[in-house]
Structure 1
């Protein structure tokens, strides 16, 4: 992927962004995949809190590097092609989270009316948004990282409704 996107000059913003992704993405994905070991254990919301915190931190790291890397439409198109070719699209993040939620749903620990795929996308979107606000407005522009993670997970409203 790095070769297909390199700018004419080594060390450019795309190289920096790709290096950051190579460093941070495996850890972020391991957190998402580790959820499979939490199925049926503890509280679903408590299992998701560290995921939301890590997601916010991940997006704070990578968004700041992404902006300068995509100042050229040509670079953006090449990046999209590389993502498509390597299979590292959005489903890379949402699939393990949705699988966890679906498994918890089968155990009755997530409500039957919850859409695991949509909920996974919403959790990721909440993390991304919180990171975006911090990057552009500042750390003090909203709730703390922990409070944001709690809000994101709580507002997914995953718990089954008591009859």
Structure 2
């Protein structure tokens, strides 16, 4: 089954440990590919004397640790279909997404000062199959499951809505990086606003009579 963005809707991993191991292996493959095709670029002053390739290695080391945890949060959603409230199920995901993106962005910003390294990273990302769809698919799968149960409005596009939630998390993390976490809304407030803005609830006027 595919969503409107052309992203396959997820089914839960039978073994969450296997999912985590697969994510770590893919990031490791990326690191090896970057090292194999990397050049000998000089250190950059803005990196404190570290080379761009070394900065990317440090970023990938963080990603290898954090990405499996984040994907586990997303994969677990599908098991909650039909339980609790949809917005209540999504709220911890939005909070976790903000925290994940804030940490990853902080490591990514100094890693991509070199256009050549950035191009190699994009190629390695594609080869490893770790594009945005890896995050969107399990979230879209959960929304589609809730939609089939009548708990999400029928006109909601699961994949587009999943992308919107993740984009909101990414944007808040991005804002924090420049304005500071102490300014503006808190992460909890931001997460609640992101979920509320999705407008997932079915119209009561069209719900079947109970």
TM-score (norm 2): 0.75
Candidates 50, 62, 65, aligned match of 1:20: 62
Contact 1:133–1:141 (CA under 8 A) maintained in structure 2? no
Alignment of 1:75-154 (within 5 A): 75-154=117-196
- The answer on whether the counterparts of 2:53 and 2:111 sit within 8 Å (CA) in structure 1 is no
In structure 2, relative to structure 1, the CA distance for the partners of 1:39 and 1:78 (3 Å cut) is same
Alpha-carbon deviation of 1:161? 1.1
Which residue in the other structure is 1:63 paired with?
A: 105
Radius of gyration: which is bigger? 2
Distance 2:53 2:111 in 1: 11
CA shift for structure 1 position 141: 2.6
* Number of residue pairs matched by the alignment: 163
Among 131, 135, 155, the residue aligned to 2:197: 155
Unaligned 5+ runs, structure 2: 1-29, 41-50, 206-210
Q: CA RMSD in A?
A: 1.4
Structure whose residues are more often helix by fraction: 1
* Structure 1 residues 89-145: Cα deviation after superposition (integer angstroms, max 9, x where no partner): 000000000000000000000000111011000000000000001111111232111
**2 CA distance for matches of 1:126 and 1:142?**
15
Tell me the distance in 1 between the aligned counterparts of 2:93 and 2:184: 19
Unpaired segments of 5 or more residues in structure 1? none
Q: Output the TM-score relative to the length of structure 1.
A: 0.96
* In 1, Cα distance between equivalents of 2:123 and 2:183: 35
1: CA distance, partners of 2:52 / 2:191: 37
Sort the Cα spacing of 1:52 and 1:154 in 2 relative to 1 into closer, same or farther, 3 A.
same
Contact 1:2 1:18 in 2 (8 A): yes
> What is aligned with 1:4?
33
Q: In the TM superposition, what whole-angstrom CA distance separates every residue of 1:46-100 from its partner, at most 9, and x where no partner exists? A: 0000000000000010001101111111111111111100100000000000000
CA apart distance, 1:11: 8.0
Contact 1:45 1:153 in 2 (8 A): yes
- For 2:147, what is the secondary structure of its paired residue? helix
